[in-house]
Amino acid sequence: MLQYHDLEWGVPVHDDRKHFEFLVLEAAQAGLSWSIVLKKREGYRRAFSEFDPEKVARYTDKRVQKLTSDAAIIRNRMKIEAAIRNARAFLAIQEEVGSFDAYCWRFVDGRPKLNRWKAMREIPAISHESDVFSKDLKQRGFSFVGSTVVYAHMQAVGMVNDHLIDCFRYREIRRLASAIEPAGLPARPRKLTAPAP
């Protein structure tokens, strides 16, 4: 966990395969602790073809059956099937927008959102942006992408900086974020509005 925090969490990601990796892992984490998933990360990497969405999208029922008996991953059939379904939806986004990266970063206008939390209890589990992002993913056929899972994704890939302001990583991530020019954002194919209360 310490290594993940110090080296990865919150660093802006612009690589589609890394986005897909986090989507698979975060969906697997639903209802469990992140530390359990991190311990199984290498097992997931092997089981899900190095997180190649094109390969995962072609997984058959036979492959699903094999994965449900693989102790190196979380053997929840619904989560395994969701990873395959999500790989297909992920490829559809790449086809439509050009990359999943361009698609997801538009939810924060192409730049990391820099929060200023002083205590862990202040860090939210969801945000307006994660609500909208989650709703759009679901409309595109993704599953296990509720607002909490999506917010975890946004934190992991640096779309938001939720390190506490006195954490040494807050300043490092802020410097990285300030060096990033907003991504060339494609026209939004769907209206991104807040879900009805």
> Where in the sequence numbering do the catalytic residues fall?
4, 26, 34
Distance CA 135, CA 150 (A): 10
Which distant-in-sequence residues (6+ apart) come within 8 Å of 115 by Cβ?
A: 123, 160, 161, 162
> Which residue, 1, 9, 17, 187, is CA-closest to 100?
17
> Which residue, 3, 31, 32, 185, is CA-closest to 111?
185
Segment holding 16, helix H or strand E:
helix 16-29
In the chain, count H helices and then E strands.
Answer: 11, 2
Distance CA 34, CA 26 (A): 8
Q: Which two tokens stand for residue 24?
A: 């698979």
If DSSP codes are grouped into helix, strand and coil, which group holds residue 114?
A: strand
